[in-house]
Amino acid sequence: MSEEGTAVRLGQPRAQKPPAEAAVDPDVAARARRRRSRERNLVILLRVGVVVFLIVGMYLLNARSGNLTMPKPSDVFDESVKMWSDGTMLRGLRESLTVLVLGFLTAATSGILGGMLLGGFRLVGRVFDPFVHALNATPSAAFIPLVIVWFGLFTEAKIIVVWIAAFFPILISTASGIDQSDNDLVEMARSFGASRFRVFWQVMLPNALPSILSGLRIGAAVATVGTVIAELQMAQSGLGGLLSAAGNRFEMDRYFAVVLVLMVIGTLITGGLRLVEYRFWNWRASQRDANR
């Protein structure tokens, strides 16, 4: 009898063969790293090229049509330095960020809670779905006269306008993500006796997080636009008020200086949310690999 058979007969554990580990070719890994590095450098180079193209285009358009059509980038830079130095830009930024942050946080909280309700309870979702989409299709600027009548012209009214603008993208994305949860995971949890609350909280909601994060990113971009619209249409203040004043006086260098700040705000907000989304995907991938 063989040694293995003797060991099994005597109750000794069978000798386990070491699992074959997947061999990773160092050359393949090095080529992949070089390819990613080349792609990253190419992206940076193309972005710099786009910026240079825009700056040159502004100079050419200024030389052809004058300052009223397009200011020189150097004039925009000088005006930006002046506005930051005398505190004009800082005051406008503070006022706009107050409206933007409060409006977006209110929209995010109410949108996620409302989306959980619509997506988690099918009957509620079927009843309110057409009304939600009808209101979402209505431009937020259409509600401004009503908001002015109810809340006045100042900060509270502007926060309401921003909330209206950002609420529906977050609501719809959250409801859609929960409603389209993995049915196999839901049925598996129910088959193990999980309550409806546990299925919702531990299966459906985590499964909907990518949709929720996408909705927050869209809502943040829309909230930035809503902030400017509210400041233009109501008591003019903040960056929107600076835009309106510069446009009325045809001070295009000042106008573009404010536009650049708005572009930076929108880029930072959406970039930060995209980073959170990226981190979440990496966390999900690591958790999935750890459970294998």
Span 165-203, pLDDT tens digits: 899 999 998 888 877 766 666 666 666 666 666 666 666
What's the pTM value of the predicted model, to 2 decimals? 0.74
Q: Compute the distance between CA of residue 111 and CA of residue 214 in angstroms, rounded to an integer.
A: 13
Mean pLDDT of 200-209: 71
Q: How confident is the model at residue 289 (pLDDT cuts 50, 70, 90)?
A: low
Burial 185-213 (b: 16+ CB within 10 A, else e): ebeebeeeebeeeebbeebbbebbbebbb
CA-derived radius of gyration, the chain:
28
Mean pLDDT of 268-273: 82
At residue 221, the pLDDT reads 87
What single letter denotes the amino acid at residue 95?
Answer: E
Nearest 5°: the CA angle 155, 116, 209 is: 95
**Any idea what DSSP says for residue 176?**
H
Burial 39-72 (b: 16+ CB within 10 A, else e): eeeeeeeeeeeeeeeeeeebeeebeeeeeeebbb
Under 8 Å between Cβ of 266 and 100: no
Is the pLDDT assigned to residue 3 strictly greater than 60?
no
At residue 13, the pLDDT reads 44
Is the pLDDT assigned to residue 107 strictly greater than 90?
yes
Q: Compute the distance between CA of residue 229 and CA of residue 238 in angstroms, rounded to an integer.
A: 11
Mean pLDDT of 29-52: 86
Q: Compute the distance between CA of residue 23 and CA of residue 272 in angstroms, rounded to an integer.
A: 37
Q: Compute the distance between CA of residue 196 and CA of residue 58 in angstroms, rounded to an integer.
A: 59
**Strands (DSSP E) found in the chain:** none
What single letter denotes the amino acid at residue 191?
Answer: S
At residue 192, the pLDDT reads 63
**Any idea what DSSP says for residue 140?**
G
